[in-house]
Structure formats: C-alpha cells, structure tokens
Amino acid sequence: MLALMNYIDGQFVPAASGQTLEDINPATGQRIATIPRSEHQDVEQAAHAAKTAQPEWNALSLEQRADWLDLIADALQAKHEAIAQAESLDTGKPISLARRVDASRSVENFRFFANFGRQQTPLTFEMDDAINLVHRNGLGVVGLITPWNLPLYLMSWKVAPALLMGNAIVAKPSEMTPLTANILAETLHELELPKGVFNLVHGLGPEVGQAILEHPIINGISFTGGTATGRIVAATAAPMFKKLSLELGGKNATIVLEDADLDKAVQGAVRAAFTNSGQVCLCGSRLMLHSSIAEAFLERFVAEVKSMRIGDPKEDLTQIGTVISMEHLAKVESYIKLAVDEGGEILTGGTRDMVGQIGPTAEGAYLAPTVISGLSHLSRCATEEIFGPVVTVHTFDTLEEATTMANATEYGLAGSIWTQDLEVGQALAQTIDTGIVWINTWLHRDLRTPFGGVKHSGVGREGGQWSLGFFSETTNICVMGPNKNDA
C-alpha cells in the first residue's frame, strides 16, 4: 500500500499532525493508499513556500514558463499509462476511458497552454499623445481545489495556466482520488521545477480545503466541485476579496428535435448520459424528446444502454465501471427509489444485478445505467444533480416547451441539441440558460473557448484567454513622452 505525502517547498512530507486518511478502490473496497490528513499548519507552510518562490517564477518570461509547460507535458506523456492505471484504480472508471480522456487530456492541458502562451502578443492602446501598455502579472499565490470525477484532467486544467501566468500554487485534490496529483508532484520534482512553485496538500475539504480558502497569503481560488461546497468557498473567500473562479454542478439537458438524425442522436445521448457513469459535470442527465420521435428514439436508446458492458474497470472492454464510492452509490440509489415513489418507470437499470455474475464483486460500487420515464420535468430527480448513471426522460411538443423544461433547474452548465436544422438549433441554443451548448455533438472541446456555467453552475469562465485572465492581474501603464513611440 502506498503512503502518499504532501509536497511542500520541494519536499515530500507527512501532515504536521502525523495523521492520515485512507484512499479506497471503489471497485473492490480495498485500501490503495494512505494520504496525509493535512490542516492549517500544512497550508501555512505551503503558502509561505509559494510566496517565497513566486517572485522569481513570475520574473521568468512567458516563453520560459511555456517551455516549462512543454517539459511537463513531455514527462506526463511518458507516464501516460501509469496515469491511466492510477486514475482507473482511484475512481473505478474504465481503463479505456482513463487512457482516452483523463491521461490524454492532462498532457494536452499543459501542451495547449504552452502553445497558447507563446501566441500571446502585447496588448497596447494608442492615443494621439500617449500609449497604453497593458501588463499581465501573476496573481501571486493561488489555491486550486479539485473534485474526484476527472482528477488530473481538472487539476492540470488549473495548474497549467496558473504556472504560465507566473503564479505559485497550493493545490488540493479530492481526498478520494489523490493518486494522480501525487504523480504530478513527483513529475515536477523530477523535472526540478523551482521549489515552492507547486505545493500539494492532501486531506479533507472542511479541514485543509477550508484552510486554503482562509489563508491570507493565497489571493486567488480556482475551485471545481459541487454547488453546495461552492457556496462555502464563495462565502469564505469573497469577504477577503480573493479572486474567485467557481466551476460547479450541472443538470444538463439533451434535447432531440423531430428532424434529428436518430442514429447519431441516440449515440450522442448515450455518451452524454453515461460517460464516466454519469459523473461528468457536463453529462446530459435529462433527455428531452420531441413527442413525435420519442417512442422510436427511446426504443433504440434503451437497447443501446442495455448493451453497455458493465464490468471490472481494469478490463479493456469495460464501458461502465463503478461510481466513486459506496456512499455515493447509496445517494444515487436513493434518487432511483425516489423516482419510483414519485411514479417514475424504470425502463432499464436501477439495479446491481450484475454483481457476482460478470466479474464485479458486491464490494464494488457498481450500478447499471438507469433510464427513468414518467416523471415531471419539475420532479426532484429531474432538477437535482444526481451525478450518477441515471437519466430521466421527458417529452415536449414545441420549442418553447423545450426551452421551459431545459431551464427548469437551478443549474446552467451545458446541454446538447440534436437537429438537422442548424438555424433552429442555434436559435434554440440561445434560449437555454447555460454556459455551453453543443449542437449535434457533446463534449467536443476546443480549449480556447470559454468554459463555465450560469445560475448555480458557477461564476467566471476558464479556458483560453479566460484562464489567462483569471490567473493574472491586469494593469495598465499609460505613457506620455516627447515621442510616444519611445514607450
């Protein structure tokens, strides 16, 4: 069993208290590792190390820091398989998904921001008699707090732009999925990144996470996680005037219009609903079908879902592994029970019947992908984030009705629309209160585009310029001289 350490000021160290927590494999219930149960003292050390290291890091040119990101991308690429294996072990996600998505995207995040950084040009505004020079400097020390569903993918999405813009980092991964953050720390150590530039503290949210939010040296917080936690983050950090980026929960609609290409729409809707067992903030957990195609669509959709291969995450052919933990499984199952109590009909799934039959053991947090019809679009199952392999099905007759249904939740992160009429699709997209809409696709990402949610799905945007903007302090110097071109 691994004994993971914090990474503070270039050294791997235990929690100051000496206490540890256990990291569990959700597919077997077995312990994989222990992690430090860090608290204020550990954050204190990490924040001071970061503060000391930041000026020198910030003094490097953007090109020099971009070169660092390329080095990190190369080193992570060389560990691609180890990252995928660790992510699958920690989360219970299929190894094929961990390879294709988690490990690959973690490398890509560093590569993208390296290239994007090099493409930046100085921003100036000329006046008749002066010139304005816009400067972007690192914020200083930033706190990065990430969830368990896409552990290194989401941490690298923050670490790469934070480093690029000259910040030093105190990062905290989810206590449930610490393995790949540790691989990242080891990689940065091997590359001899200047000590203190990247610090990693493990532990529980209300303890070490809260200490990061409260620490006065840490002047920016980028948080990805649940909306309820986001509220705590905002309430703690806002009165301290910390710069804040909140990427929170979602309850996304997949809307299929009557003219949709049904084959493509079914494939897309299955992917949107059940990728990572529905544990992606962008997952389409509400399926909204035009009534004229609902029956034909559902027949194919349910057949496709039934054919998904549930099994041991380690197996190459597995499509559905486990959810993150037995506790989370109980929460998802409670929603399925609620759906039945509220008059819903389970079209497929809702059970753990596969346990013991095709490999999965009873100790694993397995749940069959579940499709539920017959519920109001205002029911709790159709409006609250379940964050598991569960999709509810609703029908509509008009585009106005589709909009009303899609907007009937406090969340507003993403959604997809399936239609052959791109004008109608785009017009409908603009009526849906979400940060991102895909038309005839889902989770098709261009890393230059703004990513983030409206309503209770978050505050701010990350991606491309938005990440560079968040992780920097933008200042203007207005120069008037004898010859403005001298500036």
Is residue 218 involved in binding ligand NAD (CB under 6 A)? no
Among 38, 106, 174, 252, binds ligand NAD (CB under 6 A): 174
Stretch that binds ligand NAD, among 34-42, 96-104, 140-148, 292-300 (CB under 6 A): 140-148
CB 288 within 8 A of CB 419: no
Min separation Cβ 414 and ligand NAD, Å: 9
Residue 285 found at the interface with ligand NAD (CB under 6 A): no
Catalytic residue among 108, 175, 247, 333: 247
**Total residues at the site for ligand NAD (CB under 6 A)?**
30
- Per-residue burial over 257-290, b = 16 or more CB atoms within 10 Å of its CB, e = otherwise: beebebeebbebbbbbbbbbbbbbbbbbbbbbbb
Task: Based on the shown chain and the rule CB under 6 A, indicate whether residue 458 belongs to the binding site for ligand NAD.
Answer: yes
460 binds ligand NAD (CB under 6 A): no
Smallest distance from ligand NAD to CB 86, Å: 17
Query: Which listed range, 93-101, 159-167, 170-178, 298-306, lies at the site for ligand NAD (CB under 6 A)?
Result: 170-178
Determine if 140 is a binding residue for ligand NAD (CB under 6 A): no
**Could you tell me if 33 and 3 are in contact, meaning their C-beta atoms sit under 8 angstroms apart?**
yes
275 binding ligand NAD? (CB under 6 A): no
Q: How far is the CB of 443 from ligand NAD (least distance, A)?
A: 12
**232 contributes a contact to ligand NAD by CB under 6 A:** yes
CA proximity to 411, closest of 455, 445, 472: 455
Q: Which of 358, 472, 345, 485 lies closest to 58 in space, CA to CA?
A: 472
Q: Sign (positive/negative) of CA torsion 106, 230, 205, 27?
A: negative
Which tokens in the block code for residue 246? 């909140």
Out of 175, 234, 344, 459, the only residue in the binding site for ligand NAD (CB under 6 A) is 175
Site for ligand NAD contains 210 (CB under 6 A): yes
Q: How far is the CB of 167 from ligand NAD (least distance, A)?
A: 19
Q: Least distance (Å) from ligand NAD to the CB of residue 377?
A: 20
- Minimum CB–partner distance for residue 282 and ligand NAD (Å): 8
- Residue 312 lies near ligand NAD (rule: CB under 6 A): no
Q: Does 249 bind ligand NAD (CB under 6 A)?
A: yes
> Using an 8 Å Cβ cutoff, are 62 and 284 in contact?
no
333 binds ligand NAD (CB under 6 A): no
- Name the residue with tokens 């529905």: 278
Active site annotation includes 247? yes
- Residue 157 found at the interface with ligand NAD (CB under 6 A): no
Nearest residue to ligand NAD by CB is 205
Least separation, in Å, of the C-beta of 484 and ligand NAD? 44
Joined tokens for residue 306: 């039934």
- If the CB atoms of residues 92 and 458 are measured against ligand NAD, the closer one turns out to be 458
Pick the piece of the chain touching ligand NAD (CB under 6 A) from 111-119, 247-255, 362-370, 479-487: 247-255
Per rule CB under 6 A, is residue 387 in the interface with ligand NAD?
A: yes
Check binding of 148 to ligand NAD (CB under 6 A). Answer: yes
- Distance from C-alpha of 271 to C-alpha of 279, rounded to nearest angstrom: 12
User: What is the Cα gyration radius of the chain?
Assistant: 23
Give yes or no for residue 410 binding ligand NAD (CB under 6 A): no
Q: Active-site residue 283, yes or no?
A: no
Tell me: does residue 224 bind ligand NAD (CB under 6 A). Answer: yes
Residue numbers at the binding site for ligand NAD (CB under 6 A): 145-149, 154, 172, 174-175, 205-206, 209-210, 213, 224-226, 229, 232-233, 247-250, 281, 385, 387, 413, 453, 458
Give catalytic residues, as residue numbers. 247, 281
